[in-house]
């Protein structure tokens, strides 16, 4: 053990943190491991079964809206202390979210198309913003390059949504596999050098 490590351990012991530090480390390791396993499983599913995985994404997207809508209706109906207008808006928003959620679940293709179009539009907006503020940036060249690539990627997604969706699923799946493996390695090696 080096002098610095010994000093850290002594301070932790003096403060009564010896067990806490180990417990925190274990908690972080567990979190990294669970995160890595989740990323790995989702990555494998997206990579090897993109159609079924994308269908599941669309259904989960719809379920999210249904659940969120029910929560907003409940907030509007049962929470007191807010104005009648606020409560009414919560109920209206909740009903709209439930309707959108049901439509999303009933029409998987349209939901996936909406998701991919949101990604394309988001990339275009992000690219335009990056180019717009590039003059104020110390790394203006990188900002402009990022902006141009982002706008081009957004346009490709908008003009080829089906191919883009499959590509996004595969790239996302492969990325999640790599991230999952990295998280598992981090979980295993965390604290070994401390």
What is the per-residue pLDDT for 10?
58
| pLDDT at residue number 102 | 95
**Is 15 buried (19+), middle (13-18) or exposed (0-12) by CB count in 10 A?**
exposed
CB-based contacts of 174, cutoff 8 Å, min separation 6: 43, 47
What residue spans of the chain are helical by DSSP H? 3-14, 18-48, 50-78, 84-106, 108-132, 140-159, 161-189
Q: How high is the pLDDT of residue 108?
A: 92
Q: Which pLDDT tens digits describe the chain residue by residue (194 residues)?
A: 566 666 655 555 555 545 545 667 788 888 888 988 988 998 899 899 988 888 998 899 899 999 999 999 999 898 888 888 888 999 999 999 999 999 999 999 998 998 899 989 999 999 999 888 887 767 788 889 999 999 999 999 999 988 888 888 898 889 989 998 998 998 888 777 65
Provide the pLDDT for residue 103: 93
Distances in Å between the Cα of 149 and the Cα atoms of 102, 135, 143, 187 are 35, 17, 10, 34
pTM of the model: 0.61
DSSP code of 107? -
Give CA–CA dist 116/127, Å, rounded. 16
Which residue, among 190, 182, 172, has the nearest Cα to 48 in the 3D structure? 172
Residues 6+ apart with CB under 8 A from 151: 123, 124, 127, 128, 131
- pLDDT at site 134: 80
pLDDT score recorded for residue 22: 63
The C-alpha R_g of the chain, in whole angstroms, comes to 24
Domains of the chain, by residue range, sit at 1-48+180-194, 52-106, 108-159
């Amino acid at each position: 053990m080096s002098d610095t490590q010994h000093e850290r351990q002594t301070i932790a012991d003096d403060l009564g943190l010896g067990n806490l530090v180990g417990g925190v480390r274990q908690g972080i390791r567990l979190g990294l491991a669970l995160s890595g396993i989740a990323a790995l499983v989702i990555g494998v599913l997206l990579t090897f079964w993109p159609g079924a995985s994308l269908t599941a994404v669309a259904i989960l997207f719809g379920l999210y809206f249904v659940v969120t809508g029910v929560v907003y209706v409940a907030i509007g109906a049962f929470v007191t202390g807010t104005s009648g207008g606020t409560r009414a808006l919560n109920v209206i928003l909740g009903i709209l979210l439930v309707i959108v959620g049901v439509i999303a679940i009933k029409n998987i293709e349209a939901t996936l198309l909406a998701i991919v179009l949101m990604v394309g539009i988001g990339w275009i907006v992000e690219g335009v913003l990056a180019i717009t503020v590039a003059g104020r940036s110390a790394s203006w060249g990188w900002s402009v390059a990022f902006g141009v690539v982002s706008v081009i990627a957004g346009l490709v997604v908008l003009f080829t949504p089906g191919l883009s969706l499959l590509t996004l699923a595969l790239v996302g799946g492969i990325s999640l596999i790599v991230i999952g493996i990295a998280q598992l390695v981090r979980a295993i090696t965390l604290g070994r050098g401390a």
